[in-house]
Structure 1
């Protein structure tokens, strides 16, 4: 076929494609003699079919071209058409799988034809984003063996994927392969490597790469000038692991490399010093920043405000914020949230509410977390009406209460003996689809136990275990045991204690539970029973504390059981349980009265007092 005939065929296919007559174009192509379908004509029909989403038809034409015996083989233009079009197809219909595109790279490679740098980089990025780094690796490895990879960009895409997957060994191997193939790494290449090493706290490795890049290592001949972003990455990485002094030195090197520090550079350093509690140094850096006419931004403001608040310098933070406002730097949601949190933490709810009002006036809208913080803070401060008012604001803003807030509100209304309101919050919680948890039920069980309404307490415990499938905690049992003891119903307390000790129970009693029971038994002069519980503690590996011993010492003193007291004193010494002022007051008064000062002195010196023990 003559050249003019081939050009005519190309023009015809192109015209038909422009007016959307794809079927007609395909029919016209089919009528051509096989010898008339040269590479240019085939490229044209493949391009038209791919752009129309007719991938299967396009692949049929391409497969013929890729056959070893094909008269008209693919060229660089074919590769450009195929890869650029296939990578743009995102729809489900006609979509080519990534491994099929990778297979095409290999098929083209056999003809010594390779995707251009842009298409190859897009393909590698796409594979890495979908977690297919192994396939991306195989593609580049194959291209390197065929000497078809000359540019660093596709390698950079693979390095990014390997970094996210924490495959640092493969990252180093790829760098070595690039060196062997004489593919010159760029500042982006080193930047990717350093960024991922810093992200995963491998700072020393990142610094070593940085030194190699600058040619500071004798064994390397690479020299790539670092940029500001790279310096900032390293400075941030050093600060995040508490090495801010090294980061400060690096800023000096940055200047000597003609890389001017930016706002981001100072923000990283200020954050590092704030995190370590060195607020003065952070503020000094801020002043240096202003002197260098580097504009602080809201991140700078928030970093310093947060640092000051976390290190109990809230007044200084407020003063600094006011100065920055006068200079035209406004706060944002983060700024106000930091202040509201800080004032709630120190129980200054008036100030917290003031900042909430100022936040709204400044055009910053509180998020759910701000509302949650205020609701919990106000409730725990006993300002239940204010807490309810903030709940209304939260709902007006389109948010819903979370489980923690409901639990705090129920707890605080119970503490104020406002049972009706607590029940309202419980009902609302369930209607909102927020399932009560162990904390919710423990609060209610504890409250009803304290007021002596054991019927309701057990009702909630039954609902907790049988309806909700929640396991009682040591707090659940403790609340009931303590309440029964306070109501002088030691038998019921012991019954619950035995339930805990049951093999089926997964909640073993702790020191607090034992102390409640021992103290109650001692007050009812059941000293032997209390001593048996002390032995039970030893058997179960639960350590008694000073409170445990003090309860028993009081009961033994009342009965004047000296021998048992001496054994108990020896037990305290053995367990290195130090006496407190209550222990010494009980023993000093008692042992002095019965003439056992020597044994008291031995005890205070940490020595055994019983003759049998000696």
Structure 2
């Protein structure tokens, strides 16, 4: 048998044992008789042994093979052997190895340059691995070796230059092709045009198209479609339409790709009706233009466009037509439809679609389930999200990191950290390991809830398991420390991050010593803008403005330019401290740095100017906001109202309420509190009650509003009106935490209204409210002094009943609400848009406002201080 055939066969037989094959090859090639017995023995065996070594990833042995050939082969067989090895390495997508061995070949046999084919092969391999440096070196070596490049060679070179964003160099190579004896072809044009379009320079791509057409080089459809798509993405639809006409002039009929590009661009720009017209023309072609029929991509683009614009009826009709067609609906279509339903809050319909997909034989993917789970979690429907996850598990689809992370984030957003922690444990138990983002979400919630020890334990586990503590992790810890008042420790971490990265977390205190391994030093987590925003915000809130300024200067020294958020922190802090001139100096620097004023900037300045009674300047700021197109929000109006009321200009404040209602800006409870307190302070209780009525029509019958009005009436001596309002609150079973009901009982007793006081207490007891039984004592004492022993005894008996039942604490909400876990609802969450269109909403509010404005704003304000009470600042 021929020795070459025998060696190749032996190598093939040991493919599954690469080490043995390698030793066999070395032994035979190194034998003194191998070269004399057969000169082509190594040449024919190299493809076999090289493939075995490459498939087995024995890269070190490949280098040894190269050295073995250099030592064992004469010059006449060495060159073809090395060429064969380089060719195999290039075809195996190992350009680093291929070029390295190629350079050795060039140095060993410099007088015999390789063929243009080998150069093209190496260029192609280097491009596949995005190694542009190799491409440029190979081209230079070709020129040095006086190898004449082919058109294909130039195309590869142009491609490489475009990939490295060297478009001017690519254009120069394109222009010089003819000088080198090569004619650019349609592929040359396509590569260069694609490079321009990817860089957003479709206009220059069009210039190339015009030039080659004048030289009788006709571009293909791909070139036209590339340009049309680029123009459409830039919103230049007119140029795209002209290119479609030019295609027809060149004898190229637009295909589905051409029309899909136009439809995609129009949908992205929100021009859904124009896209719909093109889609209809493709489906009908009633003018006989020979338009291409829409494909599944076309249908999905239109479906996505309808869903993005919230046109669910049109999307559903299209989906049904796709279902009838059969071939025009796939998994992607249903995922688009699911996403559209979830975005519009149609969560029940989305769940039904999942089941419908299964019934129609289109199995939902993990992405399909994650879309629905994400929508349910964002809507707070966590139990339903859990149900969907159980459904996907029953359909043999295991939850992935996205699924668990979405659920975990949902529980964290609801403050259910215990359940979120369980999700994390379940995730790890099911061999689905969390990423850094997942852990950061839980870490943020733990610190927000004040569960520091659990946060420390999580940090430790994150570090031990190599999840990577990044800048976000550090920022979360810094934010937690700032909220906990541990500013000095937070400052230490920020300073340590510059030199130690995430290892700076090890400085959090004794409990954190050794928490972060030194190996994390390599993972540089440098402070960013959020880091400094957090620490500067914490210092400003604590009134440590000088230290905040130092951190600001440190930030500038680290080449981190501040944004308007950081400037707003300083402006707000200076305004709160009454340092208006300092605030305006910061504002000047802010504008100098190119940071625009935000609504927060104006709100802080208005509040600061109001504290100095500079009303004229406040109106100037309001005018500036209108000029700059910054619409005021409810806080802007509240700040202005507060300033006007403190300056005894209540009439002007009520005009602002009128303006808010006219502009559709929903007043909140703080808005009405400012006005009610101002009128009550001036003993204009009638006007205060009118504002209270408007507040009820705008915000609804909120406990907080009743509590506010009750306390103001009580403090102003309007005992009877306060009593009536309190009885209404009892009828509505409101939470009474904001009602000074003890003061009401005391005042009624002092005014000899013992029966009324007794009636209120009995009503509270009968409705199941738990309150301080000491409230009975002044009534019992009063009845006893009056000689009504029977009434006093009866009331005392009721008091003893409450003590026996255990309802002796001052928890002024009903017992059944306490046991159900319901917390007091003190927020105003009515939908203003709904109020605007309802009969009893803003229309009545405006009419009432107009009716009572005439009598509002008395100038004779007396110094009657209302009773101090804690109230939520809305």
TM-score (normalizing by structure 1): 0.68
Verify the 8 A CA contact 2:536 2:552 in the aligned structure 1. no
1:58-137 matches, within 5 Å, as 82-89=150-157, 97-103=169-175, 115=185, 121-129=190-198, 133-137=202-206
Checking the alignment, whether the CA contact within 8 Å between 1:410 and 1:423 is kept in structure 2 is no
Question: How has the CA–CA distance of structure 1 residues 248 and 23 changed in structure 2, closer, same or farther, with 3 Å as cutoff?
Answer: same
**Alpha-carbon distance in 2 for matches of 1:351, 1:48:** 62
* Whole-angstrom CA distance in 1 between matches of 2:610 and 2:195: 68
User: In the superposition, relative to structure 1, how do residues 182 and 612 fare at CA in structure 2: closer, same or farther (>3 Å)?
Assistant: same
Larger mean Cα displacement after TM superposition, 403-412 or 335-344: 403-412
Moved more, 506-515 or 180-189: 506-515
Post-superposition offset of 1:165: 4.8
How large is the RMSD of aligned CA atoms in angstroms?
4.6
CA distance in 1, matches of 2:363, 2:478: 45
User: In the alignment, which of 854, 857, 874 is matched to residue 607 of structure 1?
Assistant: 854
Specify the SS of the correspondent of 1:88: helix
CA offset at residue 273 of structure 1?
A: 0.8
Q: CA deviation at 1:298?
A: 0.8
Aligned to 2:694: none
Whole-Å separation in 2 of the counterparts to 1:590 and 1:221: 77
Does 1:410 pair with 2:481? yes
Separation (CA, whole Å) in 2 of partners of 1:385 and 1:405? 15
TM-superposition CA deviations, 1:3-57 (whole Å, max 9, x none): xxxxxxxxxxxx9x9898998679xxxxxxxxxxxxxxxxx99778877745547
In 2: Cα distance, 1:226 partner to 1:143 partner = 31
Q: Secondary structure of the residue that 1:364 maps to in structure 2?
A: coil
Q: Is the 8 A contact 1:446 1:479 kept in 2?
A: yes
Equivalent of 1:500, from 583, 586, 594? 583
Per-residue deviation, residues 320-345 of structure 1 (Å, max 9, x unmatched): 11121122112222212211221111
- Give the equivalent residue in structure 2 for 1:372: 440
1:549-596 CA-to-partner distances (Å, cap 9, x unmatched) read: 6667xxxxxxxxxxxx6xx333334444766443344333789999xx
**Aligned match of 2:308:** 240
Structure 2 counterparts to residues 134-533 of structure 1, below 5 A:
134-144=203-213, 148-149=217-218, 151-218=220-287, 220-396=288-464, 397-402=467-472, 404-414=475-485, 421-422=489-490, 425-429=493-497, 431=499, 432=501, 433-434=526-527, 436-447=531-542, 449=543, 457-469=544-556, 473=567, 475-476=569-570, 479=573, 493-494=577-578, 496-500=579-583, 532=613
Pick from 555, 558, 569: which aligns with 2:650? 569
Alpha-carbon contact 2:679-2:857 (below 8 Å) kept: no
Q: Distance in 2 between matches of 1:165 and 1:337?
A: 36
Tell me, which stretches of 5 or more residues in structure 1 are unaligned?
1-14, 27-43, 62-80, 450-456, 483-492, 520-529, 553-564, 595-600
Aligned residues of 2:177 and 2:184 also touching (Cα < 8 A): yes
What per-residue deviation string (whole Å, max 9, x for no partner) do you get for residues 438-457 of structure 1? 4312313433x4xxxxxxx2
Cα deviation, residue 237, structure 1: 2.3
Which moves more between the two structures, 134-143 or 507-516? 507-516
* Paired residues of 1:156 and 1:192 also in contact (CA < 8 A): yes
List per-residue Cα deviations over 1:509-556 (Å, max 9, x = no partner): 96668768988xxxxxxxxxx7x555665576586555446667xxxx
CA gap of 1:386–1:513, structure 2 versus 1, over 3 A, is farther
TM-score if structure 2 supplies the norm length?
0.50
* Residues 1:292 and 1:606: Cα distance change in structure 2 (over 3 Å): same
Distance 1:213 1:25, change over 3 A: farther
> How many Å separate the matches in 2 of 1:182 and 1:91?
31
Aligned partners of 1:283 and 1:304 also within 8 Å: yes
CA gap of 1:60–1:172, structure 2 versus 1, over 3 A, is farther
Q: Is the 8 A contact 1:263 1:294 kept in 2?
A: yes
Deviations 1:376-429 (A, max 9, x none): 221111212222222333434123243641442222321xxx567545545544
Q: Structure 1 residues 237 and 572, CA, compared in 2 at 3 Å: closer, same or farther?
A: closer
Whether contact under 8 Å (1:375, 1:387) holds in the other structure is yes
Shift of 1:160: 4.2
Shift of 1:131: 5.2
Shift of residue 124, structure 1, vs aligned partner: 4.0
1:312 and 1:514 mapped to 2: Cα distance?
37
Output one character per residue of 1:456-513: Cα deviation in whole Å (capped at 9) or x when no partner.
Answer: x25414423554457974544655776xxxxxxxxxx55x345335698668996668
Number of aligned residues: 505
Distance 1:518 1:91, change over 3 A: closer
Equivalent residue number for residue 526 of structure 1: none
How far the C-alpha of 1:164 sits from its partner, in A, is 4.9
Equivalent residue, structure 2, for 1:69: none
Q: CA deviation at 1:156?
A: 2.9
* Residue 587 of structure 1: aligned partner: 682
Distance 1:195 1:121, change over 3 A: same
Q: CA deviation at 1:251?
A: 2.3
The answer to whether the 8 A contact 1:46-1:58 is kept is no
CA 1:84 to 1:200, structure 2 compared with 1: closer, same or farther past 3 Å?
farther
Unaligned residue ranges in structure 2 (runs of 5+) = 1-79, 85-104, 122-137, 502-525, 557-561, 591-596, 623-635, 659-671, 687-715, 719-847, 861-874
Kept in 2: contact 1:124–1:136 (CA 8 A) = yes
Question: How far, CA to CA, are the matches of 1:323 and 1:272 in structure 2?
Answer: 21
8 Å CA contact 1:178–1:184 kept in 2: the answer is yes
